[in-house]
Amino acid sequence: SSLGLAEEAVQVLSDSTLVETHEQVVPVETADSLIEEAKQLIGMGDMTEAGKLLDEALSLEQDMTTLEKTKEAIGHLNMEVFFSKRVTDGTEMYEVKPGDALAKIARKYNSTVEQIMQSNGLKNTLIRPGDKLKVSSATYAIIVDKSDLTLTLQRNGKFFKQYKVAVGKPGSETPVGTFSIDNKLENPTWFHAGAVVPPDSPKNILGSRWMGISTPGYGIHGTTEPESIGKSVTAGCVRM
């Protein structure tokens, strides 16, 4: 179910803690309790208050291990809501106009046909004038932290989801700076050491996706070597 993943995400956090006073036991708001409250508000359709609780959960003072679990849980919730019909901050309803196609709407909102289909429960690309579609109108940014080997996706300047990644090895460091994503490819061909490695080759280490950044030769891509994630082992690219 749509809430099943949210419930599973919450379970990665520890139980609520209690602070005992001389007169009574007072419950303390912890990240997991706030996320549980947010999940309930999402179920009731109160996305604004749910978002506030998720922001509060991230702002709590936590040790590194607990913080990582908090981010994991919030990321699961965010993705669950993103790929649902629920309208949240950063999304809106679009009314299909004569002459529209999903590809045209996706370009307008810098999205993909697949994302619009999944968020709206569409089984095919057939749409009709007057249909209402949930689309994303948010601004997204990526922050790669080479020190802890993470890639953080932000939506409208706020945490959305975090991933573990691999980065450049010593002598082939991942470049530092601010870049744009200039191209996106599905099932990319790998051009390596003068060789052309096709997408279906087991020697193609790029995986199923490539996002090229504004420094030529570097990008963010998938992998056929999942055991390398969380290490500094690449030729400079960010590997997911």
The catalytic residues are: 221, 237
Burial call 111-123: b when 16+ CB within 10 Å, e when fewer:
bbbebbbebbebe
Sole residue written with tokens 């990008």: 219
Q: Using CB atoms within 10 A of its CB, is residue 167 exposed (0-12), middle (13-18) or buried (19+)?
A: buried
Q: Which residue from 65, 20, 64, 14 is spatially nearest to 35, judged by alpha carbons?
A: 14
DSSP state of 60: S
Backbone angles phi, psi at 78, to 5 degrees: -60, -45
- Give the DSSP letter string of 175-197: P-S---EEEEEES--EEETTEEE
B/e letters for 51-89, b = 16+ CB within 10 Å, e = fewer, are: bebbeebbeeebeeebebbbbebbbbbbbbbbbbebebe
Q: Tokens representing 211?
A: 């996002």
Residue 9: enclosing H or E segment and its boundaries?
helix 2-10
